[in-house]
Structure 1
Amino acid sequence: MNNQNNTEALNYHAQFKGKVGIQPLTQVNTSDDLNLAYTPGIGAPISEIQNNPENAYKYTLKARSVAVVCNGTATLGLGDTGPLAALPVIEGKSALIKKFANLDAFPLCINETDPQAIIKFCKQIEPTFGAILLEDIKAPECFEIERTLIKELNIPVFHDDQHGTAIVVLAGLINSMKILNKNKEDLKVVINGAGAAGISIAEQLHSFGIKNIVLLDSRGIISKNRPDLNKYKLEALEFTNSENIDGDLKTAIKDSNCFIGVSVANLLNADDIQLMDEDSIVFALANPVPEIMPLEAKQGGAKIVATGRSDFANQINNILVFPGILKGAVENRVPKITREMLVEASKNLAAVVENPSLENIVPKAFDDGVIKAVTKAVS
């Protein structure tokens, strides 16, 4: 951002000292109101909830509230900012959840990096909330945290950095295949980046039926021959690199027809894209600077290009997903969000674009059908 935009953004945040707040939903203007809102009136709902915990959804904010839990170890494209500096991001997510899903989201940036301590924290706050959204927690810790919470909590848990990106990527690919007259069996996908987003994207695509997927980290292709893989990358080999090839990114992209980058800036050039099959698909999602700029990707032969940025066509943005996923999960009282639901969300999101084109493969955040389409998948 330039200095003018920085000033505008700072003034925007300073106007109300943040982006979200709390206000009472009931009137508290008289002594009678006070008697109902607090003591002695609160005794009645307390008794009802003690007798049947499900009544918490009838008498409290649990029926419409989400905890957004973050430790700031993987904040957007900025890395480890710490929890305090991550607060504007988590406030922003909370504001968007209210705007698009009409749920009350509470930003909780915690000063903790130990996975077991974060798990304990989420267990301790479970009574208050209808769902938990995990945000900006680095890999591989995020995998352990989410898996444990999904297994042990009675409310839905969703890690947006993993699954939000994966849902939108698959939606974009569904429409890209439609435009290019390709079938999922035709795709040869290379995913560069084996962190939270990359592994989930690979699993999402595989669950949809795309079988030819190669996943890379900073050291190259993830294969069975590498002794340095953590357990999550080893698990990813169950649905990637079926031919067990080794090598670097150039080896991987040669003769592929789909590149998905969730890695670092300026990784590719036009010559690299020329190694791919004709009419290739390039999703360069590193932020704020993508792996390759759209114009250069097209000069190299890419037919469809997407980035994570709003100033280019085909923005792959999680805002299309997390409000609807949470709305469906909370309102339908879904105890666990399954991979089948995530794939259905991709299909529904893709269908919102009635006439997909080279520069219109995913809907815009303010398209009326987005929230309904994604919410419908979670029931």
Structure 2
Amino acid sequence: MRTEGEVVYLDYNATAPMRPEALEATVSAMQTVGNASSMHHLGRDAATRVDHARRQVADLLNCSPGELIFTSGATEANNLALHAAYARGGFLMTSAVEHPAVLEAARSLTAGQPDALVVLPVDSDGALDLELLSFTLAERDVALVSIMLANNETGVLVDLRPVVEAAHTAGALVHTDATQYVGRLPLDLSELDVDLLSLSAHKFGGPQGVGALFVRRGAALPYRPLLVGGGHERGWRAGTLNVAGIVGLGAAAEAAGKRLEHEAVRIGELRDRLEGLLLAKVDDCHINGRRLARLPGVTSVTFPGVPADAVLAAMPHVAASDGSACSSGAPSPSHVLLAMGRSREDADSTIRLSLGYATAEQDIERAAEAVVAGVQHVRTVLAATDAP
């Protein structure tokens, strides 16, 4: 997709452009008035819109509408899930490559008892050690296991079925941060038996500032809302409902669901084309997590010795990232790549290119040319700087 100034947008993992259906629905809702909790007909109309959106999201996930709690996004949903589950007592278990919205929430909750947090390592591809997970579950009283479905930096997918089986056998609940997965690959919560799942609208073409937490009916979860007040969302999330945002989330969910399988195949082919061009034209580069199943639209590419921020600056007509957009500009290198055993230098020499529903073939060609030229330019500058 191209935007102002013919910029090629390849930063879908940071945020996706709003789908036309979501934009139209959001604007339409913003042009109406009504609090979804009010009893007059305008309030009831707003409540009807919210109910419809809840059904649209439930259809995408194949769950019950009553199992969804609307939030301000996945960060709030993650925090709510961990906050409630930790109140059960016991340990929290997660992985070293989780999004900060999970890792930092877990660290905050266990700050008074750091030993109550178990952070599982990953291998050089970003894969979990399932034997270590099972052993730890057998040795400790774990309240919650939180493992993401798809990594936001590398796109590496996790098969949660053995995780769920091991956790439930040990009496633990399972939460997954599915922010990068929902709306990009098929997901059926009647088959994937997680207890809690977080999502965010803007990752698959909805508006920013709205998301949801799935809480499976019957899950042994203590009632622990983060926000208290008027008792909205069955008491789990106080505050006037963001009707326009929720309506946009629902419209994006319906639009994504209709095109899901076709988009996944097409985007995967474009990603493979992009990687092929980069590997063919740039000496000494590699793709992180390439040996594992990944999201179709994500590639994490390391150019050893070439600072990622310099490469991005050298290709202003391509919108990409040097890691997670939630931590871009931070002085520390990617915790995900460090957990995968990369050096600090390699972590700082990695860019993430993420494609989506509006990415076109010509975008891939232009992006590849820009990345190749950017890397060559930075290498030339560094060589000149190092010359005696």
When normalised by structure 2's length, the TM-score is: 0.27
The higher-RCO structure (CA 8 Å, 6+ apart) is: 2
When normalised by structure 1's length, the TM-score is: 0.27
